[in-house]
Amino acid sequence: MVSFTAQQIALLIQGKIEGEATAVVKQFGKIESAMPGEISFLANPKYEDFLYTTKASVIIVNESLVLKKKITATLIRVPDAYAAFATLLTKYQEMKNENLVGIQSPSFIASTAKLGEQNFVAAFAYIGENVKTGNNVKIFPNAVIGENVSIGNNVTIHAGVIIYSDCVLGNNITIHAGSIIGSDGFGFAPNADGSYQKIPQLGNVIIEDDVEIGSNTTIDRATIGSTIIKKGVKIDNLIQIAHNVEIGENTVIAAQVGISGSTKIGKGVMMGGQSGTIGHIVIADGIKIAARTGITKDFKEAGITLSGYPAREQSAFLRAQVAQKNLPALEKRVKELEIMVQQLSQKG
């Protein structure tokens, strides 16, 4: 990391300094283990005790924090410490990538490909016919960009990413290692003899601006038309998104989610890890989906929370969980009542 003073960092994140403005940092560190020359942050009150024992030189904290003891570090107070630290990390990453310019060898770039300015193509990357890229695109080793792919500005494609033909990527996109964009959707028609005939997948994938896609995620091309990932979507690692899916703006999807074909997901949806959907359903804006929830029908009421399998509103799910917990006691009571009824009938 390049050396920065607390004053320079405060200007970058629009914070207020409390302590030595000339304190210098060269590395990032966790507050519980940071050393002199490192910068850290405190956003979760759970870790506040480390504020008084850390050896970090500079710490980003919330404006509202009230100190309980004296500290040795320089503080930078901001409205939201977590967001400010994320901004700082982003700026640092951008600075690192600014130095990555040029084309390494061996790599293959088709003669019909048109690359923008300030681009970087690492060794062993492949760029196919009629590919078009904007400016400041970074393509790392063993990435494959198929023919007729269009890529906007400020896009980072990490090692081993494969983007199939005809896909369209907007601006400010990051795709992490091993992900596959535009592979065939899972389409097979059953034959009378029990075999299956493959249905050609002729569509593409469109990824709009400000999207991030984690490692080893697969987004299938549409059978006809487009699989669409809209602006601001954040996708974790190890996720399957099937053909003709549409994911609305600013939706967040955690690891190991599976979304079946032609599902339409609204804006601002949050999908917990290992949740999933059947195909051809609609999920309304702002719905929160708990981890391991299985969605088997449309949910068109915005802003609700879903849990369980099959998915239902969380309040109903929790009531069912309580009832299930009481089943052994209820079973015992029913058996006792049956015995009482039998005894009474025998007396009669």
Within-domain flag for 220: yes
Among 158, 176, 243, 280, which one carries the catalytic annotation? 243
Query: For 35-60, b where at least 16 C-beta lie within 10 A, e where not — what string?
Result: eebbbbbbbeeeeeebbeebebbbbb
- Supply the pLDDT for residue 145: 98
Query: For 289-328, b where at least 16 C-beta lie within 10 A, e where not — what string?
Result: bbeebbbeeebeeeebebbbeebbebeebeeeeeeeeeee
**Whole-number Å distance between alpha carbons of 301 and 64:** 36
Tokens (6 digits) for 85: 């630290």
Confidence band of 339 (pLDDT split at 50, 70, 90): confident
**83 plus 137 within the same structural domain:** no
Last residue in a domain, options 89, 119, 141: 89
348 has a pLDDT exceeding 70: no
Task: Please give the single-letter amino acid code of residue 321.
Answer: Q
Confidence band of 84 (pLDDT split at 50, 70, 90): very high
Q: Are 237 and 174 in contact (CB under 8 A)?
A: no
Last residue in a domain, options 48, 68, 89: 89
Q: What is the tally of helices (H) and strands (E) in the chain?
A: 4, 39
Within-domain flag for 341: no
Within-domain flag for 192: yes
> Domain residues for 82?
4-89
**Whole-number Å distance between alpha carbons of 237 and 291:** 15
114 has a pLDDT exceeding 80: yes
Question: What integer is the mean pLDDT of 22-36?
Answer: 94
Question: What integer is the mean pLDDT of 51-55?
Answer: 95
pLDDT per residue as tens digits for the range 195-232: 999 999 999 999 999 999 999 999 999 999 999 999 99
**84 plus 190 within the same structural domain:** no
Active site annotation includes 243: yes
**33 plus 162 within the same structural domain:** no
> What is the radius of gyration, based on Cα positions, of the chain?
27
pLDDT per residue as tens digits for the range 147-179: 999 999 999 999 999 999 999 999 999 999 999
**136 plus 262 within the same structural domain:** yes
CATH number at residue 61: 3.40.1390.10
Within-domain flag for 29: yes
To the nearest 10 degrees (0 to 180), the angle between helices 6-13 and 81-98 is: 100
**73 plus 115 within the same structural domain:** no
Residue 239 CB-density burial (10 A; 0-12 exposed, 13-18 middle, 19+ buried)? buried
pLDDT per residue as tens digits for the range 121-134: 999 999 999 999 99
**34 plus 151 within the same structural domain:** no
**Whole-number Å distance between alpha carbons of 244 and 252:** 18
Within-domain flag for 331: no
**Whole-number Å distance between alpha carbons of 256 and 245:** 16
Where is pLDDT greater, at 263 or 334? 263
Within-domain flag for 330: no
**70 plus 147 within the same structural domain:** no
**Whole-number Å distance between alpha carbons of 184 and 155:** 23
Within-domain flag for 347: no
Count of the separate structural domains present in the chain: 2
Range with the poorest average pLDDT among 36-40, 90-94, 102-106? 90-94
- Supply the pLDDT for residue 338: 86
Backbone angles phi, psi at 182, to 5 degrees: 95, 15
Where is pLDDT greater, at 333 or 180? 180
Backbone angles phi, psi at 95, to 5 degrees: -65, -40
**Whole-number Å distance between alpha carbons of 130 and 57:** 51
**120 plus 32 within the same structural domain:** no
Task: Please give the single-letter amino acid code of residue 271.
Answer: M
Within-domain flag for 181: yes
**300 plus 169 within the same structural domain:** yes
Long-range contacts formed by 131-140: CB under 8 A, 24+ apart: 134/171, 136/97, 138/97, 138/100, 140/177
Last residue in a domain, options 27, 59, 89: 89
340 has a pLDDT exceeding 90: no
**178 plus 31 within the same structural domain:** no
CB atoms within 10 A of CB 266: 21
261 has a pLDDT exceeding 80: yes
**242 plus 134 within the same structural domain:** yes
**Whole-number Å distance between alpha carbons of 284 and 95:** 39
Question: What integer is the mean pLDDT of 285-302?
Answer: 97
CATH number at residue 194: 2.160.10.10
**55 plus 167 within the same structural domain:** no
277 has a pLDDT exceeding 80: yes
Residue 336 CB-density burial (10 A; 0-12 exposed, 13-18 middle, 19+ buried)? exposed
